[in-house]
């Protein structure tokens, strides 16, 4: 069970890690954000890597878990795909003040220097892709999506457009990258595979 102090630390440093990077965030940044001493930080977390991993988990909980809840509330595959694009349209406003997409940030930032965190990002990415594949395959099985649809190919296209549009939106401070990509998924991908 996580202590109240640990929760406080995580709430303060999760956006810092996401804005400054998991490599670029120093212990001085952490103590400044929390107004706690180095000793207080390390009484609650064994090292910076553990703190970074838990901060990433909190960033994911805020940015990505709500999407899973929205998908779970839909009854068929087409509704689930539209729920994904609708959620992603609100994504820029949800995470822009927290430094952008935590999966993109941590994935790029940690690949060569924090294997534990990078592997967590990779597992989350694989889970999201597998979820998209399942949605499309279930749609095929339930006669909602055309039988000849390559579920893996379309899931990869949708996921790539989601993540790529997020990267560009946060790079250019322009949410229309996301809006335009989601409109394209709705009109040119979902409409194409829909039965």
pLDDT mean values, one per 10 residues, the chain (195 residues): 90 95 92 94 92 96 94 96 97 92 93 92 97 98 97 98 96 96 98 95
Residues 41, 10 contacting (CB under 8 angstroms): no
Residue 95 Cα distances to 36, 69, 87, 155, angstroms: 26, 17, 12, 23
Calculated CA dihedral for residues 94, 173, 184, 162, nearest 10 degrees: -50
Question: Domains of the chain by range and CATH?
Answer: 4-58 (1.10.10.60), 64-193 (1.10.357.10)
C-beta separation of 144 from 195 below 8 A: yes
pLDDT the model gives residue 2: 83
Give the pLDDT of residue 75.
93
pLDDT at 23: 86
- H helical segments located in 22-114: 27-34, 38-44, 48-63, 65-72, 77-95, 102-110
- Looking at residue 177, its pLDDT comes to 98
The C-alpha atoms of residue 57 and residue 78 are separated, in whole angstroms, by 29
161: enclosing H helix or E strand: helix 151-172
């Amino acid at each position: 069970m996580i202590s109240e102090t640990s929760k406080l630390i995580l709430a303060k440093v999760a956006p810092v890690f996401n804005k400054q990077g998991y490599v670029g965030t120093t212990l001085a940044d952490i103590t400044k954000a929390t107004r706690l001493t180095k000793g207080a930080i390390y009484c609650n977390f064994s090292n910076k890597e553990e703190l970074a991993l838990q901060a990433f988990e909190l960033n994911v909980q805020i940015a990505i878990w709500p999407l899973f809840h929205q998908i779970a509330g839909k009854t068929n595959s087409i509704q689930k795909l539209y729920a994904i694009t609708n959620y992603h349209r609100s994504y820029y406003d949800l995470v822009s003040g927290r430094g952008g997409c935590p999966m993109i940030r941590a994935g790029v930032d940690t690949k060569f220097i924090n294997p534990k965190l990078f592997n967590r990002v990779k597992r989350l990415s694989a889970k999201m892709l597998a979820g998209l594949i399942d949605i499309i395959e279930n749609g095929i099985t339930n006669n909602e999506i055309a039988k000849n649809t390559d579920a893996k190919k379309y899931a990869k296209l949708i996921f790539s457009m989601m993540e790529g549009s997020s990267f560009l939106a946060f790079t250019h401070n322009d949410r229309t990258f996301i809006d335009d990509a989601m409109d394209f998924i709705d009109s040119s991908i979902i409409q194409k595979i829909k039965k």
